[in-house]
């Protein structure tokens, strides 16, 4: 069964902010397009394999979530609910590093 991807408003905003940053920073669409292509690829994988990401709890959403890395530079946090993949956070890993790392926002359930 293929799951439907739904982006939380704040996650979508963060995603677009990251794309905008890289367009301005590089003065080119090339890297932003690479991010978009990888997010699309991951979304397609998640539709068929919703448990692909590492399981844990998201500190700010206080719910069970999964996380996948995008190009080793971004983390996409999502929750699986019924037939839906809810993307709840998209963040640059450099921001996570400044916050004390991935595990400051996310804790392992395993």
Helix axes 30-48, 9-26, angle to 10 degrees: 150
Residue 103 has a pLDDT of: 46
CATH class in words for 4-108: alpha beta
Q: Which residue has the higher pLDDT, 29 or 104?
A: 29
Write down the domain spans for the chain.
4-108
Mean pLDDT, the chain, integer? 85
Pairing verdict, β 84-92 and 4-7: parallel
pLDDT value at 90 more than 80: yes
Give the residue among 58, 42, 59 at the shortest CA–CA distance from 3: 42
């Amino acid at each position: 069964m293929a799951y439907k991807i739904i982006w939380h408003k704040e996650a979508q905003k963060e995603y677009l902010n990251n794309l905008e940053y890289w367009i301005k920073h590089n003065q080119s669409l090339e890297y932003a397009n690479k991010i978009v292509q990888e997010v699309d690829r991951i979304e397609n994988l998640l539709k068929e394999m919703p448990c692909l990401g590492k399981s844990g709890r998201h500190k700010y959403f206080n719910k069970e979530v999964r996380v996948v890395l995008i190009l080793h530079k971004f983390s996409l946090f999502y929750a699986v609910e019924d037939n839906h993949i809810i993307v709840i956070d998209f963040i640059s890993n450099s921001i996570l590093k400044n916050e004390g790392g991935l595990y400051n926002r996310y804790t392992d359930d395993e």
